[in-house]
Each structure stands twice: as C-alpha cells, then as structure tokens.
A and B are shown apart, each in its own frame.
Chain A
Amino acid sequence: DIQMTQSPSLLSASVGDRVTLSCKASQNIYKYLNWYQQKLGEAPKLLIYYTNSLQTGIPSRFSGSGSGTDYTLTISSLQPEDVATYFCQQYNSWPTFGAGTKLELK
C-alpha cells in the first residue's frame, strides 16, 4: 500500500499567517491527492481534490499544489474557523490517508 506522511503533526499559527501543510507519498501518486478538513467532533470535509482543485463552497484562501510524491496545502491567511485537523488522501491505489496535521491558534 501507499504510505502517506504528513508534517508537521502539530502546527501553531496566528490569525492572518500563511500556513503550509505537507504530505509526502511513499511513491509517485501522479497528483491523485485530496485534502480534507476535520473539526473536532465532526466528519471530514473535502477541501481540495486532484491536488489543486477547490471544492465548491470552500474559501479561496485554501489552495493545493504538488506533484510526484510531494504535496502541499496552503492557507493564505489563517482564520479562527480554520482550527482543525487536516488529512491528505491518495487514490492512485486503494485509498490511504495521512495521519493528519492538527492546526491550532498560537
């Protein structure tokens, strides 16, 4: 199976900061990568699909990039409502998720 490694596991940032979350695959996943946001006690929500496509209704401050084995989720200006855990998921093979990055306010 394809292993997904997310870093950092915990990120503290201030409102207005530009935040970058990383996701690394154990092999080339050809941009078959999605990002989800999970707030405490809620189900995951799709943010970004196929590396850089913004899901309908998601604020434009979220963006994705990457290729090969290395992918990034960027929040251009952190808002209080962005406090959550973020998961990447590949679908080049049967779906696997990263362990998540927990984003908190500094």
Chain B
Amino acid sequence: QVTLKESGPGILQPSQTLSLTCTFSGFSLSTYGMGVGWIRQPSGKGLEWLANIWWDDDKYYNPSLKNRLTISKDTSNNQAFLKITNVDTADTATYYCARRGTTGIPTDYFDYWGQGVMVTVSS
C-alpha cells in the first residue's frame, strides 16, 4: 500500500525559508523509474507543479521558481524534501507531495498523493 504524508511549519514569515518533508511508504526512491513530485494549490485555486526528484537523483524544477527551489531525498528513510527560499504571501498554499509513476513510456503521472499540508506566509 502506497502512502505519502507531508509535514511543514504551518506558518512562517516573509523572507524565511520554507522546509517541507514528504514521508512515504509502499515504494522506494531507489527503484528504477520512481519519482516524487511537489505540487501546490492556493486555497480555491488550481494546481502548480514545483519540482520532481527521480530514483537516480535527477532533479527538475518549475522554471518560474527554479532559483528558489531545492529538492532532495533520503532514500534510506523514505523521505523527500523541498526547500523554498525567500517566501512571500504568494507562497501561501496547500503543498502536496505525490509519487510520480509510470507503466513505461509514454506514461507518466502522479498516481498517489499525500493529504497535503497547509502553509501560511504572514507577517
């Protein structure tokens, strides 16, 4: 059974760094083809993909946010991490981590999602 769960600070101030953790089970990020992505959703709005990390430690970032994002993983503890520097109120959102899976080329999807963690940026 695949599960993911996000954790984060809840609230932080503008200019601080947001650190998020995704703890997962039921799969391994050392398995060929596996990946974990981070996606966020401001309240009442749409979804925005932020970053992805793959089993081989390859990393991809949303170009519009790339200079503020760092994604990493701890394979032995089944965790993935995302840091966002210099946050402001526009970063207020629910942050999801999701397994990025495939049944082989050309499929590629987010097939399991965490419950999400709300992050508020406020002074």
Contact = CB atoms under 8 A, between A and B. Distances in A.
Interface residues of B, number: 22
Interface residues of A, number: 25
Max count, chain B CB within 10 A of own CB: residue among A44, A49, A95, A100:
A95
B106 A44 contact: no
Contact of A44 (B62, B108, B113): B113
A59 B71 CA distance: 35
Given A43-B96, A45-B113, A94-B60, A32 B46 contact: no
A46 B48 CA distance: 16
Nearest to A30: B106
A17 B115 CA distance: 31
9 contacts: A34-B110, A46-B111, A87-B46, A94-B49, A94-B60, A94-B62, A96-B49, A97-B47, A99-B45
Interface of A: 1, 30-32, 34, 36, 42-46, 49-50, 53, 55, 87, 89, 91, 94-100
